[in-house]
Amino acid sequence: MGGSNLAQDAKPMILLNVSGKPLTREHINTEM
Q: What is the pLDDT of residues 1-32, one digit of tens each?
A: 455 566 666 666 666 566 566 656 665 566 55
Contacts (Cβ under 8 Å, ≥6 apart) of 16: 22, 23
**Conformational region of residue 22, where left means phi above 0, alpha means psi within -120 to 50, and beta covers everything else:** beta
Domain ranges of the chain: 2-31
pLDDT value for 27: 58
Contacts (Cβ under 8 Å, ≥6 apart) of 24: 12
Max Cα–Cα distance, the chain, nearest Å: 29
pLDDT value for 7: 60
Catalogue the E-assigned strands of 1-32.
Answer: none
Note the pTM of the prediction, 2 decimals: 0.20
pLDDT value for 1: 45
